[in-house]
Amino acid sequence: MRLFLAPMEGLADQSLRAVLTALSPYDLAVSEFVRVSGALLPQRAFFRISPELQHGGRTRAGTPVQVQLLGSDPLMMARNAARLAQWSPAGVDLNFGCPAATVNRHRGGAVLLDEPETLHAIGVAVRAAMPAGGPVLSAKMRLGVKDTLRAVECAQALADAGVERLVVHARTKLDGYRPPAHWPWVARIAEAVSVPVVANGEVWTVDDWQRCRSESGVADVMLGRGAVVDPFLARDIRAGRAWARNDPRADDWAVLREHIGLFWIEVRARLEARHAPGRLKQWLNLLRRRFGQAEALFQHVRPLRDARQIDRLLALHGIGAPALAA
Ligand SMILES: Cc1cc2nc3c(=O)[nH]c(=O)nc-3n(C[C@H](O)[C@H](O)[C@H](O)COP(=O)(O)O)c2cc1C
C-alpha cells in the first residue's frame, strides 16, 4: 500500500510540499504542472515548478517528487519530457485531468479525454523520448469530459502507449470537485489495464481511505486537499488511527504550529512580500476545517495585508523565528 501526495497548482508548491512530506510519510509527491506549448522549455521553467530537481528530485524530508507536464502536442511533450529526464526527477507525469478553462482552451488537461487517440500518441511519443531505465512515466486522468463512456478506452490508450502507472481522479471534468468521487470506476479501470492504478478523490479521513480502498479495489491512494486540511492524514492512515471530528489533538497542533512557522519563513524568503500573506491565509483557511486552533490564528491573520505585520503577529504567538519580528 502506497500513499501519494497529489499535484495542486496554486496550493501545493515546493514550500507546502516540504512541510506536508515532513509531517507525514509519502511514497511520492507530484509537482504542479509545467505547461508545454510550442517551445522547448528552458531549465528555469522546470526548476521553478520543481526546485526539488536541484536536490536529487526529493523534498527536504527525502520524498521523491515526480514532475508533471501538461500539453497536447505529442512531439513537444516528448522533447520536453526528454529534457526534463536529464535532471532525474522521480518520474514524469502527464496531466489529463485539469478542468481549467484557460488550460482546456489550448487543448490541455481534461478535454483530451474526448480524444483517446491523442492520449495514445502523447504517451507513445513521450515514452520513446525518455531514456530506458530512467524516470517512471505515469499519467493522471479523470473519468471523462462530460461522462464516463470513454474512461476505460482512455486508460487503455495510455497503458498501451507505455505509461507505467495511472492515477485516476474518479470524477469527470463536468463533476469538477463536487463529491462524490466514483471510486468503483477506479476498479473498472484497474481491471481493464495491466499497469498499477492509483485511486484519487475525496479522501479526507482514515475512514474515507478505507472505503476508497475497498470500493476501488486498488492498494495505492493519492491524497489531495485532504492532505492539506490535515497534514497528519497520511501518517494516521499508516498507523490505522482515526480521530473524532472534534478531537483537539493538542500534540499535533503543537507540531503543526512549528511547521506553520517554517512554511512562513520559506514563503517570505521566496516570494515578493505582497504575495506572501495570501499563501499563509490560504493554508490556515484550510487547516481550520480540521484544527479548531487554526481558526483563531486565521482570524488574526486574515485582515493583515503587510507581510511584516504577519511576522510580528506570528512572533507574538511564538510561531516562527523571533528574528522575523525585528
Ligand atoms: C487547487 C488545486 C490545484 C490542482 N492542480 C492540479 C495539477 O496541477 N495537476 C493535476 O493533475 N491535478 C491537479 N489538481 C487535482 C488534484 O491533484 C486531485 O486530483 C483532486 O484535488 C482530487 O483529489 P482530492 O479530492 O483528494 O482533493 C488540483 C486540485 C486542486 C484542488
- For the CA of 140, the nearest atom of ligand 1: 11
Residue 199's nearest CA partner among 66, 25, 3 is 3
Residue 187 and residue 257 in one domain:
no
With respect to residue 244, please indicate whether it lies within any of the assigned structural domains. no
Calpha distance 67→83 (Å, rounded): 12
Domain limits for position 93: 3-239
Residue 133 and residue 78 in one domain:
yes
Q: Is pLDDT above 50 for 326?
A: no
11 CB near ligand 1 (under 6 Å): yes
Which ranges constitute the DSSP H helices of the chain?
14-23, 43-49, 74-85, 101-105, 116-129, 151-161, 183-192, 206-216, 225-229, 233-239, 250-270, 276-287, 292-301, 307-316
Residue 227's nearest CA partner among 298, 297, 283 is 283
More confident residue, 325 or 99: 99
Residue 273 and residue 318 in one domain:
yes
| Number of domains forming the structure of the chain | 2
**Residues with Cβ within 8 Å of residue 141, at least 6 apart in sequence:** 96, 97, 113, 119, 154, 155, 158, 166, 167, 168, 169
DSSP secondary structure code for residue 206 in this structure = H
DSSP secondary structure code for residue 6 in this structure = P
Residue 43 and residue 148 in one domain:
yes
Nearest Cα residue to atom 10 of ligand 1:
7
Residue 182 and residue 216 in one domain:
yes
Q: Is pLDDT above 90 for 138?
A: yes
- Model-level pTM? 0.96
Q: List, in sequence order, every residue forming a beta bridge with 28; answer none if it has no partner.
A: 4
pLDDT tens sequence across 176-192 = 999 999 999 999 999 99
Residue 175 and residue 124 in one domain:
yes
Pocket test of ligand 1: the residue of 11, 225, 228 to mutate, having most ligand atoms within 8 Å of its CB, is 225
CATH number, domain with residue 319: 1.20.225
Nearest Cα residue to atom 6 of ligand 1:
8
pLDDT tens sequence across 256-265 = 999 999 999 9
Distance (Å) from CA 310 to ligand 1 centroid: 28
More confident residue, 320 or 319: 319
Helix (H) or strand (E) holding 144: none
179 CB near ligand 1 (under 6 Å): no
CATH number, domain with residue 227: 3.20.20.70
